Amino acid sequence: MKRSYITTIEIDVEIEYDFTPGQPEQGPSYASGGEPAAPAEVEVIDIHLLDSKGKRICTLPDMAEAGVWMMAGGWDDVLIEEAESSIEDEMAEDAERRAEARRDRQ
């Protein structure tokens, strides 16, 4: 019997970036009138979507490629495991309901 499910999957994303630490305000000195504080800066270089084994699937600009990978079965193992777990949970709940119904009839 075919069953439909909706599930949320946590994905891993690898972000490559450059970081420049901030600088505190520099007070005036004999050589300079001082410098204002500079905030920390981050420049994102690349973002990669990773599969469940940590392998890069695609970069952010190529999200269409990730969609193709997913539709081609890239998440099948994860989704099969999730569906099987849901079926086991449903069966356990059904068994518990039947046991409660039997107890109620006694």
pLDDT digits (tens, 9 = 90+) for 34-53: 888 888 888 878 778 887 77
Pick 81 or 66 by higher pLDDT.
81
- Residues paired with residue 56 on neighbouring β-strands, in sequence order: 50
Mean pLDDT of 72-85: 69
Q: Are 78 and 50 in contact (CB under 8 A)?
A: no
Cβ–Cβ contacts within 10 Å for residue 26, how many?
A: 13
For residue 91, being part of any structural domain is answered with: no
Asked if the structure places residue 35 within a domain, the reply is yes
In a domain, 101, yes or no: no
> Is residue 8 included in any domain, yes or no?
no
Does residue 32 fall inside a structural domain? yes
Identify the domain containing residue 18 by its residue range: 13-60
Is residue 105 in a domain?
Answer: no
Check pLDDT > 70 for residue 90.
yes
Q: What tokens were used for 69?
A: 């990978």
Give φ, ψ of 54 to 5 degrees: 85, 5
Under a CB-based contact definition with an 8 Å cutoff, are residues 34 and 28 in contact?
yes
Q: Which pairs from 64-73 meet CB under 8 Å and 24+ separation?
A: none
41 belongs to a structural domain: yes
Residue 76 has pLDDT above 80, yes or no: no
Distance CA 61, CA 49 (A): 10
Q: How many domains does the chain have?
A: 1
- With 0.75 as the threshold, say if the pTM is over it: no
